[in-house]
Structure 1
Amino acid sequence: MSAPALSIIVPNHNYGRYLPRLAASLAGQQGGLDAVELILVDDGSTDDSRQEAAALKALPLAGFSALWLDHCGHPGPVRNAGFARAQGGLILCLDPDDIPGPGYLAACLNALAERPDAHLAYTDYTHIEDGHARDIPLPDFDPGLLRVQNILPPAAVIRRKVWEASVGYRANTAYEDWDFWVQAAVNGFGFARVPGPRFGHPMHGANLSYAARKNDARAKAAIVLNNALFFPAGVRHWADAVMTGQSWADPGPRGIIPTLDVVRSMLARSDTDRG
């Protein structure tokens, strides 16, 4: 069999209940799945994930495989295991509870076909939490914005070379997707945004995106220290201070890495307090 055009990786831990819904969403994709392989990577689930995976295996795919790993508790290594097995020239990582709309894959694939200079394609998305849904319009890619906040959605279709140039998803930050997008920017890859919400991303207490809120400051600092060349020296100084518990290093709003000017203001306040 020739290599598939697209590999979809689904990392999973005790999310078996969502796999049939994801299968239904993928079955409804415009253009079909005949050039798509799907790799389920299970992080030692203890629920009915093995049984529910049958819904994914039954899809009309170019190929299906499942990796049943011992539980590690970090999504980074789980995703990396799937990427290492992927055969497609394009790769997409979807969580089991994501809800790609019917035009999601076609929109991303078309964007990459039309933009040879682009290596990642992403769309706006719908944030779903506590029974409420709101569309999240994202900006066109801007490295200056990415230094401050994660301006990309939880999922994007990437060219294989983006993965090959990276160190993979790191386990030392709860914002592992943000860290991965920064790696892509550092490596000079182009980003293509497709306007309009094309998939739903639920937020609930069981997922890692929700848990990341509890460890916000250190998760942000790790991104800075992981990708030092992408950030000004003063921001790296702030990140070091966060990691070493220095009182002047204000963690700031959730999901926001301070700019150099904000860090300077923190240091000035600290000097005033000491004086």
Structure 2
Amino acid sequence: MMNKKWLLYIMFVFSNILYSQNEKDSLEIAVIHETLPFYLNTNPNSVASFLKGNDTYNVMYNALRSHPDPKHVKKINAYADSIKNIITSKKIQVLTIDTLYQYSYQPMAYEDLRKKGDWKKKQESLRDEFKRNRFVRLDRPISIEFVDLIKKQIDSKQLKRVINLTDLNKGHYEFIDKSSGCQDSLFCMEGIRVFRPTFNEKKDKACYLISFECKSERVCRDFLFIEKINEKWYYVDSYPSSQISQEIMALNKK
């Protein structure tokens, strides 16, 4: 018969493991909830990106502001204003699945970043790119610590897990099961998948991925970099995962 002391010890250890896992799960949801809307505001698939000051609006405005006919800029501003008026009372539906996925790295033909030598070369290249933004794939230079979080994603053995989609709702966005379908195609984003975060040792920087529909009926995927400042998580920047992994995915295979 099992000694009572051993039984209590086993129960104590098990409860600590369970608490630790629940704490990790809660942190994953919390950081995505706090930061994902800010990334979506930059994504051209989101109508919110057309609001003044957001990425798609800025691209269009800067392209047309020097046009000799001012009516083009007026049209952009009128469209942005109309979106602003509607979005105050209407959410953008994000059609997805109630799952946080694991990142499945697919090596390139010329490099396998799971191998020490290949990763060392890539690490040096990425650190230089993140420090200087020399290829302008980022909005600005960012911390080279995020490079190591990409490696954590490559090596991660995390499995996918089920989540409550309403826990992600924030700002302009309402996350719903993709089976519901779009009620309004303009205020809807389809083909979104969210991947589990990896954290640095201090738990003040993290990286997760988002996949979304892009041109030619393909799925694109971005690494999202986030940072904790004064107990609050902030979206920092994104980086195309096609620069890290083989990323040819058809919509029906995403």
TM range, normalised to the smaller chain?
Answer: under 0.3
TM-score (norm 2): 0.21
Indicate the structure with greater helix content.
Answer: 2
TM-score (norm 1): 0.20
Larger-Rg structure: 2
Higher relative contact order (CA 8 A, sep 6+): 2
